[in-house]
Structure 1
């Protein structure tokens, strides 16, 4: 993958998950010794582990599931913005940024300092950002955070606002070493037809 920058969280028993959600596990169900030819593994995990996308069905019973999403949203030119230290993510956060012709934005907040632990608080997305993004043709918002809403939110206003305005959600990207700029993004979900979300292998290549 020469030239590509991996922005995914590695999945192992140490990856943090939402409190109370399914912990990640990988084990061999057959060893080469047992089968005589191959090792075969089994994975158990939440669909929202590590770097992942949310399908609208995650927060809306009538929303699209992963198998219904447009793959084109998850690959193509993307702009990485450095906004470390911000307290929230709203239109003011992106004011003055040249995003003409950009369909995908990834925001580095730097708020998730210790990726071995689930964060206690994050800078949430202001629902007012959703129409602002739509007006500018943005189809994907990616964050270095586990959610676009406050971690204790039950009504998930940012999730719903983004979905209403056709903005897809990519969460948990690792942008610690990524410079602001324009890149090619690939972050395809798995073909989990009925799922509410999916882990992705997300990567960037400078343009």
Structure 2
């Protein structure tokens, strides 16, 4: 896609740092400078090791289902969303949102972004241990009533509330089940939705394509009408 002059581009994903918040805690990303110009090498080369569900990442059906698609299985057009809808929905710690909280979604929406404001706690224990989540009924409702929604994005650590993990696993399954009604709905977790997104026109998602990996860290870019 070409850059349009009257559009603004913002990252909706977080940069990967040495320490990242993850579901239920923090983890250290092992970033190594294996070749360095400062040490007399001819180039700079780095390696890094991290979990595929650390930082901003996308959950695909293979996360919970043996017959589910993996991140690398999807075609390129999967990752371009032209009718995103931002839903401001204030959520308290440990709360669970249901279909009644989401309300009306514009016809044709292909990406539902839930802007809860909970990202203000990123970097604290509350963000990783007391995050809100979605009820299993949301996945069922979206797939039955809004089959054009291909993905949901969340500004909290996981669709699963950490204090209600069993229900969270069930919720993941209702979104990702390849044998459910209509197509599975992918889940983008730990997004940065703190920008003014009132003019959001498109969202581009670029997952790291690694063979055999169920899901993937991703870079997400929002295209905003300036």
TM-score bracket for this pair, using the shorter chain length:
0.7 to 0.9
Residue of structure 2 aligned with 1:124, choices 127, 133, 144: 133
Please state whether the residue corresponding to 1:170 is helix, strand or coil.
Answer: strand
Query: Residue 202 of structure 1 corresponds to which residue in structure 2?
Result: 220
Question: What is the SS of the residue equivalent to 1:67?
Answer: helix
Which residue of structure 1 lines up, in the alignment, with residue 109 of structure 2?
A: 102
Q: Over aligned residue pairs, what C-alpha RMSD do you find?
A: 2.3
Identify, as 1 or 2, the structure richer in helix.
Answer: 2
Judge conservation of contact 1:23–1:44 (CA < 8 Å) in 2: no
Pairing 1:163–2:170 present: no
Aligned counterparts of 2:91 and 2:27: Cα–Cα separation in 1? 30
C-alpha distance in 2 between matches for 1:13 and 1:138: 34
| Residues 164-188 of structure 1: CA deviation (Å, up to 9, x unaligned) | 2411111111112233454200112
Query: Corresponding residue for 2:91?
Result: 85
Kindly tell me: are residues 65 and 142 of structure 1, through their superposed partners in 2, closer, same or farther at Cα, counting changes over 3 Å?
Answer: same
| Displaced runs of 4 or more, over 6 A | none
Question: C-alpha displacement at 1:21, in angstroms?
Answer: 7.4
SS for the counterpart of 2:97 is coil
The runs of 5 or more residues in structure 2 that have no matched partner are none
Unaligned runs of at least 5 residues, structure 1 = none
| Contact 2:153-2:189 at 8 Å conserved across structures | yes
Q: Deviations over 1:118-138 (max 9, x none)?
A: 422122111111132122121
Question: 1:128 & 1:18 partners in 2: Cα distance?
Answer: 22
* Residues 21 and 27 in structure 2, CA contact (< 8 A), matched pair in contact too: no
* Residue in 2 that maps onto 1:42: 47
Number of residue equivalences: 206
Distance 2:194 2:55 in 1: 15
- Distance across 2 between alignment mates of 1:61 and 1:13: 32
TM-score for the superposition, normalised by structure 1:
0.88
Instruction: Give TM-score scaled by structure 2 length.
Output: 0.81
Question: For the structure 1 residues 65 and 21, does the alpha-carbon distance in structure 2 shift closer, same or farther, using more than 3 Å as the test?
Answer: farther
Q: Per-residue deviation at 1:43?
A: 0.7
Deviations 1:12-39 (A, max 9, x none): 1132223477521312001125563211
